[in-house]
Every structure is written in C-alpha cells, then in structure tokens.
Structure 1
Amino acid sequence: MPDYENMSWLEALQYAKEISGLTAEEIASRMFVKPSVVRRYLKNDGGYAPGLDKIPLLCLAMNNGVLLNWIEAQIRICSISIPPCQRQGGSVDSCSRSLGGSWGRAAASCGNGGNGD
C-alpha cells in the first residue's frame, strides 16, 4: 500500500497516472482538456496545480481513487484551524479567502509544504 501520508500531491498524482496505465493524452481526452494541461499538472510546471474542482475529474479520468486516498491521509495528519467567518461589508470575507486556494496551498498550511516534508 502506498504511503499517502508521506507523499507529495505531485507524487500522488503521478502514482495515480501510473496505475491507471493511461497516457496524459488519454487522461486529457477524458477530462475534456488539452494534453498540455495534464502534462503541466504531472510536472508541477511553474507551480501549476489542479484546482479542487479538477480532483473528481482526475479521479474519474484515471479510474482510481488515489488522489482521494492522498487527501484523506493529509487530513488525518493535518490539523487546520480555520478562523470563524467574520462579515465585512456584507460578505463572508475571512472564510472565502481561507477556502479559496488550491489544494497545494491547503497542504502547505498544514506544515508540510504540500510536498510531504
């Protein structure tokens, strides 16, 4: 069984692709995106990471739950305390900023930098 707790998100994504047996082009076709997008995800080209909305699509495209297993493992080892939402100017400001980032930034806020350190 993979060591999801010590994997980086990039290693988890690469492992998911590996066990899927699919090429980046096949994954992209199943996600209705360009192959270059998937290749950038797989290389973390310039910090380019899939958004949270892409995780279900990646799982479905690769026909496995590796990324979900990785997320669950990160939640087990991570204790994030999100400050209570405070209304400013009629909007939920602090929570929208806290939750608006990508999953890589969420992992970084857990103290492992999103790379398994």
Structure 2
Amino acid sequence: MTAPSLKPLKVCSGRCLSAHCESGRIPLEWQCALEHRWQATLASIKQDRWCPTCCRLGRRDSLALKAGELMQHLQLTHRPTFRNNYLNPALAAGLIEMTDPDSPRSLVQKYRMTAEGAMWMANN
C-alpha cells in the first residue's frame, strides 16, 4: 500500500514521510509545516491528532485531552503521581483548564492548554 494522502484529512499542513504502510495500525513517520517529526498511525491522524510538538505549544485551538491521554504523552503510568505532580499544579498555575469545570470528576472531562500555558511552553 502506498503512503496515505493528507488531502481528505482535516489537519494542519504537513505530510507523511513514510514510503508505504503495511497496515493502518503501523506507525508512520509524519512532518508538520514547522518540520517537527513524529510517528503516528493513520487512524490517529484521521482522528485529528496532529503534531504533538505544535499541540504542546498551543497551536491547535481545540486540543483537549483526557487525563489518560495526557499521561500517555508524558509516558507516566501512576495516576496519583500524575495528578499530584503534574495535573493539579498545572491547573492551579492556570497553565491548563478543564473543558467542563462544573463537573471535575466527569468521565468525559478533558483538559486544554490556556493562553498562559502556551506562552509558558514557548519560553521554556
């Protein structure tokens, strides 16, 4: 199978660098317009998950992740450590915000970077 085309996908500009893919579950190499490189499956790209570096810098307006997804990005597995050392301090500092602050324990709760968080990331 040849490398997938990005035209039908709603993503930031960029391209697939992989020459071919054996299956939709095999990670492919991608490059965004700012030349960041990463690996992701075609399925994750189709779910509108694009450049992780740009996302961390707040370049995706609607990016919101569940706590488990944040843990995966940080390569953490212990939820209490994540909550106490990362999530709660970032919320308290105003670097991230809940998508549904009225229901902090909601099963569909997600977190997104604030403008202050994006500025902090750009400077650190």
**Structure 1-normalised TM-score?**
0.31
Determine which structure has the larger strand proportion and give its number.
2
**Structure 2-normalised TM-score?**
0.30
Kindly indicate whether structure 1 or structure 2 has the higher relative contact order, using CA contacts under 8 Å at least 6 residues apart.
1
